[in-house]
Amino acid sequence: MKMEQVVTLDGDVRVRYDKVGEGSPIILMHGWGCQASTLDSIARIAAEQHTVYNIDFPGFGASPEPTTVWGVEDYTAMLESFVGKLGIVRPILLGHSFGGRVGLLYSSRNDVEKLILVDAAGVKPLRTLKYYFKVYSFKAAKHISRLLLGKKRAEARIERMRKARASADYAAASPRMRAILSKVVNEDLKHVMPDIKAPTLLIWGENDTATPMRDARIMEKRIPDAGLVSFPGCGHYSFLDNPYQFAAVLRSFINV
């Protein structure tokens, strides 16, 4: 039976998580804009032979937002505090999308049994000229609006422009979580990948546009003991797009 729990960590950080199953520990880490329940289908598979900790990152689900602008280092320190507080030893880590960033950094400096990266972030995206034009034209428009309009009208116009131009994740976030997203999305973790000693499984959707196959191949090359499984016709949520094959691959990796 799934048990919903809350733990208070260093710095009065409160983290809500689900605990289910029995056996050696596995920690599930969701992607940006998601929460623990997004990974419930994975939790059910893992709980067949493991104790599963499925967490809401601070700022998502029922875990309160950080009080400052966090980066990947802060989220990783939170996970280290979580593992220490609960007395978890050598967990398997599974990170989807943003959760993969935390999995990469944590595994590069802590003892883990295995690492599973599902459509994971961690490689700084390639930027096109169109992207830079969009960014700098927005900055120019903000500056002009503040010069020509009153503060209240300018901020209202800037917010309309932000919603029209920004990603769905950015537009839906609070001001602090927007700042966190802007920070973490530009953090490149390629330099820590060679330090990961744990056996690592990469599971990817071949049609993923958020974290494309290019990222998976970079991780496979840089992480010493890594293997890649990709699913044709699947996108950024490969575990939902192809649940049966995903379940088979996951079981074969974590239950040996």
Alpha helices per DSSP H over the chain: 40-46, 72-86, 98-109, 129-148, 151-165, 168-172, 175-184, 213-222, 238-241, 243-254
Which pLDDT score is estimated for 160? 59
pLDDT tens-digit readout, 74-129: 999 999 999 999 999 999 999 999 999 999 999 999 999 999 999 999 999 865 44
Q: Which architecture characterizes domain 3-124+188-254 according to CATH? A: 3-Layer(aba) Sandwich (3.40)
Spatial distance between the Cα atoms of 233 and 208, rounded to a whole number of angstroms: 9
Q: Residue ranges of the chain with pLDDT lower than 70?
A: 126-170
Which pLDDT score is estimated for 134? 46
Which pLDDT score is estimated for 97? 97
Task: Give me 15's structure tokens.
Answer: 């983290």
Which pLDDT score is estimated for 190? 98
Q: Fill in the amino acid letter for 139.
A: K
Which pLDDT score is estimated for 256? 77
Which pLDDT score is estimated for 163? 54
For CATH 3.40.50.1820, the residue range(s) in the chain are 3-124+188-254
Which pLDDT score is estimated for 129? 44
Which pLDDT score is estimated for 135? 39
Spatial distance between the Cα atoms of 163 and 148, rounded to a whole number of angstroms: 21
- pTM for this model (two decimals): 0.85
